Amino acid sequence: MKNSKILTLVFIALFSAIQIVLEFTNQFIPSLPQGGSISYSIIAIFLASYLLGVKEGILVGFVSSILQFALGMASFYGWWSVLLDYVLPLSLCGMAGMIKNIKFKQIELPIGVIFAMVLKFIPHYLSGAVLFGEYAGDQNPYVYSLIYNLSYNVPTLIVCFILVMIIYPKLNAFFKK
């Protein structure tokens, strides 16, 4: 596609809107008691990063996190929670495009999704251990947060990896026109 600032802004808005719509449908998936669930909505951020660029992917993640609060889709537990549970994780998903896909036979494997999900996990982990450590009970809050956050981030990684692997090649062909 032609490189145009206006067209890029339109695509950023489009991918942000797609993320919000998917997040709305994602709310029908049961979540864990202190938040967190398997989330396929972030594929919009991953796709934006691959198709538009890393800066644009980060912007889609940032805009999506702000929109979630504006639309009442996110929980407010304080500013540190906003940063560690929403703004940073979703923005970090936009870094998927930093790692190029690996071709295996005729399939493109979106390794950047794994990279971005590891980055996304870090602020969730810190939030769970530091901000929500009281839910750990007798357990070490760092161990509790590790187990708690892996329980939904690993399935999210698997789902998003597969979805991006299926959707990206088709969209990429369109974007190359």
What is the C-alpha to C-alpha distance for residues 172 and 50, in angstroms, rounded to an integer?
8
> 67 falls in which pLDDT band (50, 70, 90)?
very high
Mean local confidence (pLDDT), 152-172: 93
pLDDT tens, position by position, 95-148: 999 999 898 888 889 999 999 999 999 999 998 888 776 766 777 888 888 998
Q: Residue 5 corresponds to which amino acid?
A: K
- The answer on pLDDT for 166 being more than 60 is yes
What is the C-alpha to C-alpha distance for residues 163 and 61, in angstroms, rounded to an integer?
18
| Residue 162 host element (H or E) | helix 141-175
